[in-house]
Amino acid sequence: MAARLIDGKMLAATVRAQVADRVRTLRAQGITPGLAVVLVGDNPASQVYVRNKAAACEAAGILSRTVSLAADTPEGELLDLLDSLNADPSIHGILVQLPLPGHIDTGRVIAAIDATKDVDGFHVANAGLLLTGRPRFLPCTPYGIMKMLESEAVPLWGAEAVVVGASNIVGKPMALLLLAAGATVTICNSKTRDLGAQTRRADVLVVATGRSGMVTGDMIKPGAVVIDVGINRLENGQLVGDVDFETARQVAAAITPVPGGVGPMTIAMLLVNTVESAERQLPA
């Protein structure tokens, strides 16, 4: 039987409507949540992401400010801009769109964002809080995936979870959240010897490698829940994930499509983090 589709677009619409309600409550108390998105250079994919984030903010009543800088902007100028956004009380969330041009040190830039405005959750202070079980801002993609698993009532306590990919922004925080939810977690990377042997143990399989066709149906345990984070553009222009959808859906119990799965949830959770940041401004 073909797998159930986990509809990220629909769930994201629900989350965004909830955010809009919270924004209305905040605005009634004189606070308009504000998100600053900084884009350096003219990477076409980044431009699309930034436009989508700004549109989602506006639809939810969040003030969005996009600052576009030339690709050759010196690092010092970007750090100065972040200083001024850190100090701006109308801005509750700051996001620097990645990747940055090669002459800029990404780690230094993320470290320069005020950790209490780091709605992407990439700052080492926020990564450390997540690691130690006291999260402040959860990175948006893993946060969105946890919401999807919750909405599908996927049992995590005692489950075998396998995360393929170990980046700081997806794989590692994903593994920590699954661990915190009671799963037994395996993280795989490009050095993993027999990937299929690992993935076939998974009740919940999250794949985030940026390589299309990385996981095929024969690498999936029958009845598993499969979350495909990858976004890959094929030569024919088609957008696909990291999981071979046609073979995977014959084996899995549930699977996220690409597009329309994890992507919309990532943006929705960015709005959640921004509104949460603004709510923290309210007197206790």
Positions marked active-site: 53, 97, 120
Q: Quick one: 53 or 249, whose CB is closer to ligand NDP?
A: 53
Taking the complex as a whole, the smallest distance from the CB of residue 175 to ligand NDP amounts, in Å, to 11
Is 61 near ligand NDP (CB under 6 A)?
A: no
Containing 226, the helix (H) or strand (E) segment is: strand 225-228
DSSP-derived 3-state class of residue 183: coil
Is 52 near ligand NDP (CB under 6 A)?
A: no
Interface pick for ligand NDP out of 61, 121, 135, 263 (rule CB under 6 A): 263
Is 229 near ligand NDP (CB under 6 A)?
A: yes
Q: For residue 55, how many other CB atoms are within 10 A of its CB?
A: 12
Bridge partner list, 233: 239
Taking the complex as a whole, the smallest distance from the CB of residue 189 to ligand NDP amounts, in Å, to 3
Taking the complex as a whole, the smallest distance from the CB of residue 55 to ligand NDP amounts, in Å, to 16
Nearest to 206 by CA among 229, 188, 190, 184: 229
Taking the complex as a whole, the smallest distance from the CB of residue 119 to ligand NDP amounts, in Å, to 14
Taking the complex as a whole, the smallest distance from the CB of residue 150 to ligand NDP amounts, in Å, to 17
Interface pick for ligand NDP out of 25, 189, 238, 250 (rule CB under 6 A): 189
Q: Quick one: 18 or 106, whose CB is closer to ligand NDP?
A: 106
- Residues 77-136 close enough to bind ligand NDP by CB under 6 A: none
> What is the rounded CA–CA span in Å between residue 118 and residue 217?
38
Q: Quick one: 26 or 163, whose CB is closer to ligand NDP?
A: 163
Is 9 near ligand NDP (CB under 6 A)?
A: no
Q: Quick one: 26 or 40, whose CB is closer to ligand NDP?
A: 40
| Nearby residues of 255 by Cβ (< 8 Å), 6 or more positions away | 3, 4, 5, 6, 225, 226, 227, 228, 243, 245, 248, 249
- Residues 158-187 close enough to bind ligand NDP by CB under 6 A: 164-167, 169-171
Site map 15..34 versus ligand NDP, x via CB under 6 A: --------------------
Q: Could you tell me how many residues of this chain bind ligand NDP (CB under 6 A)? A: 25
Q: For residue 43, how many other CB atoms are within 10 A of its CB?
A: 17
> What is the rounded CA–CA span in Å between residue 245 and residue 228?
9
Interface pick for ligand NDP out of 184, 192, 216, 247 (rule CB under 6 A): 192
Nearest to 6 by CA among 147, 123, 129: 147
**Tokens coding 237:** 């222009």
Interface pick for ligand NDP out of 28, 191, 235, 237 (rule CB under 6 A): 191
**Tokens coding 58:** 């506006």
Sign of CA dihedral 224, 229, 231, 232: negative
CA dihedral 67, 73, 77, 82 (to 10 degrees): 40
Taking the complex as a whole, the smallest distance from the CB of residue 281 to ligand NDP amounts, in Å, to 27
> What is the rounded CA–CA span in Å between residue 65 and residue 91?
9
Is 231 near ligand NDP (CB under 6 A)?
A: yes
**Residues found near ligand NDP in the complex (CB under 6 A):** 141, 164-167, 169-171, 188-192, 195, 208-211, 229-232, 262-263, 266
